[in-house]
């Protein structure tokens, strides 16, 4: 039996989402059971418009390039499907004789995926629906972590270490760095690796713990007074005591989430005006999810395996599941994939444990969790005992 498959991406890309796509396509080709491999152009938008790209005949070498291509090679969107959209979705699946549908995304996408599966079951269609996890924010539940997170964490860790060394080498200002994560501090916490890798002064603030600006400025002033420079690492979604983002743009995205912006710049200005200390802010923003050179090798490999597993699950008859990762941190890090029910994953947000944060510092539990995900070959810098 030979059948057609469809894959779509939802939400923001990660540095390894194309690796999952590569794994899925290669597993499908190798199975010898797939006729046509379709990708929805720009995610749900492509499904709704029946705008598909056929990837079955793309050369193996071009597919292999997915492993080193940032963003999403098939496009994505932030459109959250509504009840009225589902008939068009099912129409597209039926029209193209799709027997396995793969949706690569985060919480919202898993919810969509779950609904498509329920409709298929209700309509008695023989379509297997499998979710492929992906989010730099690491806020998907059940899975130990999500592909994409390890690379975003490595970006945060190493670029923060580099910036901490710059701030220490030329200690003329407090450098404030903003990292992604509207509600979940997983990425920003990884930025706390900077002081561990360099010995430089650093303070870290996550969205899970609202900050008291006076205390924050007091801590900044005291640490900068040591004369060796200071890196302050903050989440884009950092909140004040009132629970509102420090730097709310007032803009709401397609999923109804508020858009954060300029948190580092806001704090940097506070440092200049309130403490009379020179400060500058850096906001790599999307670079943290799109950078190829900073990726974690573990993350690339897991993303690829998750893509392969997704195909294998569907091909073996599973449906209504998301590929999840079980991690083993005893000894050398290992992981294995297992199917998690989409209904258990959909719309649950895994937040960063607040007990791991303490006034600008992150506890060891987090580093035990994140270090293997960031991957090996952490940099070892020259150290003349300056800092």
Determine how β-strand 52-54 pairs with β-strand 98-105. Answer: unpaired
**Site track 230-259 with its own copies (rule: CB under 8 A), x = hit:** ---------------------x-xx----x
For position 77 contacting its own copies by CB under 8 A, the verdict is yes
Q: Considering only the stretches 67-75, 134-142, 188-196, 205-213, report the one whose residues sit in contact with its own copies under the rule CB under 8 A.
A: 67-75
Is residue 162 close enough to count as binding its own copies by CB under 8 A? yes
87 or 379: whose CB is closer to its own copies?
379
**Measured from the CB of residue 356, what is the shortest distance to its own copies in angstroms?**
26
Q: Which residues pair with 130 in a beta bridge?
A: 102, 321
Q: Is 55 in the site for its own copies (CB under 8 A)?
A: yes
Under rule CB under 8 A, residue 272 binds its own copies: yes
* Rounded Cα gap, residues 368 and 130, in angstroms: 30
Site mask for its own copies (CB under 8 A), range 113-152, x = bound: ----------------------------------------
DSSP letters for 154-173: HHHHHHHHHHHHHHHHS-SS
**Stretch of residues binding its own copies (CB under 8 A), selected from 95-103, 165-173, 188-196, 321-329:** 165-173
278-297 residues in contact with its own copies (CB under 8 A) are 278, 280-287, 289-294
Calculate the CA 162 to chain-centre distance: 21
- Give me 37's structure tokens: 């491999």
CB atoms within 10 A of CB 174: 26
Plot region of 179 (φ>0 → left; ψ -120 to 50 → alpha; else → beta): beta
Active-site residue (options: 108, 111, 137, 141)? 137
What is d(CA 87, CA 110) in angstroms, rounded to the nearest whole number?
Answer: 18
Q: Is 137 a catalytic residue?
A: yes
CB 107 within 8 A of CB 347: yes
Let me know: does 188 contact 233? Beta carbons within 8 Å: yes
Residue 45 has φ and ψ, to the nearest 5°, of -60, -45
Determine which residue in the list 110, 165, 193, 340 makes contact with its own copies, applying CB under 8 A. 165
**Residue with smaller CB distance to its own copies, 162 or 221:** 162
Strand 202-205 with 230-235, pairing? parallel
SS3 state of residue 382: coil
> Which SS3 state, helix, strand or coil, does residue 16 take?
coil
We find the least distance from the C-beta atom of residue 251 to its own copies, in angstroms, to be 7
Decide: is 18 part of the binding site for its own copies (CB under 8 A). Answer: yes
Q: Which residues contact 189 (CB under 8 A, 6 or more apart)?
A: 204, 206, 352, 356, 357, 362, 366, 370
Site residues for its own copies, 171-200, by CB under 8 A, read: 171-172, 175
Name the segment binding its own copies (CB under 8 A); options: 100-108, 126-134, 137-145, 273-281: 273-281
Tell me which residues are annotated as active site: 137
Name the site residues for its own copies (rule: CB under 8 A). 12-13, 18, 39, 41-42, 53, 55, 58, 62-63, 65-66, 68-78, 158-159, 162-163, 165-172, 175, 251, 253-254, 259, 261-262, 265, 272, 278, 280-287, 289-294, 379-384, 386
């Amino acid at each position: 039996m030979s059948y057609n498959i469809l894959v779509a991406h939802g939400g923001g890309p990660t540095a390894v989402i194309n690796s999952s796509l590569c794994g899925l396509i290669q597993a499908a080709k190798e199975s010898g059971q797939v006729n046509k491999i379709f990708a929805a152009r720009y995610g749900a938008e492509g499904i709704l418009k029946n705008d598909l790209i056929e990837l079955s005949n793309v050369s193996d070498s071009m597919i292999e390039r997915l492993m080193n291509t940032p963003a999403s090679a098939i496009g994505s969107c932030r459109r959250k499907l509504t009840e009225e959209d589902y008939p068009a979705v099912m129409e597209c699946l039926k029209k193209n004789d799709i027997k396995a549908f793969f949706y690569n995304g985060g919480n919202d996408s898993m919810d969509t995926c779950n609904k498509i599966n329920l409709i298929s079951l209700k309509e008695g269609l023989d379509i297997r629906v499998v979710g492929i996890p992906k989010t730099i924010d690491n806020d998907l539940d059940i899975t130990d972590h999500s592909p994409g997170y390890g690379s975003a964490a490595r970006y945060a860790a190493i670029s923060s270490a580099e910036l901490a060394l710059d701030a220490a080498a030329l200690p003329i200002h407090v450098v404030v760095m903003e990292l992604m994560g509207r509600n979940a501090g997983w990425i920003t916490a990884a930025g706390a690796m900077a002081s561990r890798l360099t010995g430089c002064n650093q303070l870290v603030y996550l969205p899970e713990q609202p900050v008291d600006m006076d205390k924050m400025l007091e801590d900044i002033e005291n640490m900068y007074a040591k004369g060796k420079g200071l890196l302050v690492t903050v989440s884009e979604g950092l909140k004040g005591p009132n629970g509102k983002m420090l730097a709310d743009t007032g803009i709401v995205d397609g999923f109804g989430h508020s858009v954060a912006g300029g948190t580092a710049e806001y704090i940097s200005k506070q440092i200049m005006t309130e403490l009379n200390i020179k400060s500058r802010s850096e906001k790599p923003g999307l670079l943290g999810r799109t950078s190829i050179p900073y990726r974690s090798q573990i993350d690339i490999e897991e993303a690829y395996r998750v893509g392969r597993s997704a195909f294998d699950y569907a091909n073996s008859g599973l449906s209504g599941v998301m590929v999840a990762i079980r991690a083993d941190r005893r000894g050398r890090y290992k992981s294995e994939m297992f199917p998690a029910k989409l209904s258990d994953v959909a719309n649950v947000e895994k937040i960063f444990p607040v007990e791991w944060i303490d006034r600008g510092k992150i506890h060891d539990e987090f580093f035990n969790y994140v270090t293997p995900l960031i991957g090996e070959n952490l940099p070892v810098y020259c150290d003349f005992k300056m800092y």
